[in-house]
Structures are given as structure tokens and as C-alpha cells.
Amino acid sequence: MRIALGSDTFSGRGVFGANTREEAALMVSARMTPLQSLVAGTSGAARQCVRPDLGTVAPGKRADLLVLTADPTEDVGNLRELSMTVLNGKIVVDRR
């Protein structure tokens, strides 16, 4: 079974990205592992949207990355621990 994470960002509280973090946490509450919820939000979502240029870190793909200060595979709540955001290869948020 394939699962994709991807609530409409502004469908809830209206804070950009908050619904995605909440959906990842709900997936873990529903007995998915943090890693499974992260896969659902990256390669799973890219596959569902038919976007082969997204979803994994590999040559030839877009360089869209979140750099975190804590491991989200240990606790999906660590998605809130943002250090840097890279969008299409350019740093757009830098909290280092």
C-alpha cells in the first residue's frame, strides 16, 4: 500500500507548513513510524503528484531541502527544529 502525506497547507490554522507537520504527527499516532511518515511526505507525495523531479535527494532532482537540528526519524516533532531551508538549490532560510 502506498501512502502520501499532503494536506492543503492553508486548510486548517492557516500557518504555512503547520498542517503538514500535524499530518505527519497524526500518521505516527496512527502507528506509522516517523520514517514512514517522512517517506509519505517526500517520495510518496512526489510519486502521487507524478513529480519525478521531487521527493528524493539525487543528481538531476530539485535541491529542495530542510536542514534540521534534530533527527525527525527519532521524533517526527523534530520537523520543527529548522536550521536551514534550501529551495531549488538556494538558501532561503538560514538560522545557523
pLDDT in tens, 44-75: 999 999 999 999 999 988 888 999 999 999 99
Domain that holds residue 79: 18-94
Q: What is the mean pLDDT of residues 3-9?
A: 76
Residue 56 lies in a domain: yes
Residue 51 lies in a domain: yes
What's phi and psi for 76, nearest 5 deg?
-60, -20
- Please report which confidence band the pLDDT of residue 14 belongs to, taking 50, 70 and 90 as the band edges: low
Closest CA to 89 of 54, 64, 66: 64
Residue 7 lies in a domain: no
Residue 13 lies in a domain: no
Residue 3 lies in a domain: no
pLDDT reported for residue 19: 82
pLDDT reported for residue 46: 92
pLDDT reported for residue 84: 96
Which residues are within 8 A (CB) of 69 and not within 5 positions of it... i.e. 6 or more apart?
A: 78, 81, 82, 83
Contact between 4 and 47 under an 8 Å Cβ cutoff? The reply is yes
CB atoms within 10 A of CB 33: 12
What's phi and psi for 84, nearest 5 deg?
-155, 150
Residue 22 lies in a domain: yes
pLDDT reported for residue 6: 82
Alpha helices in 30-84 (DSSP H): 34-41, 43-48
**Predicted TM-score (pTM) of this structure:** 0.84
Residue 10 lies in a domain: no
pLDDT reported for residue 71: 97
Residue 5 lies in a domain: no
How many domains is the chain built from? 1
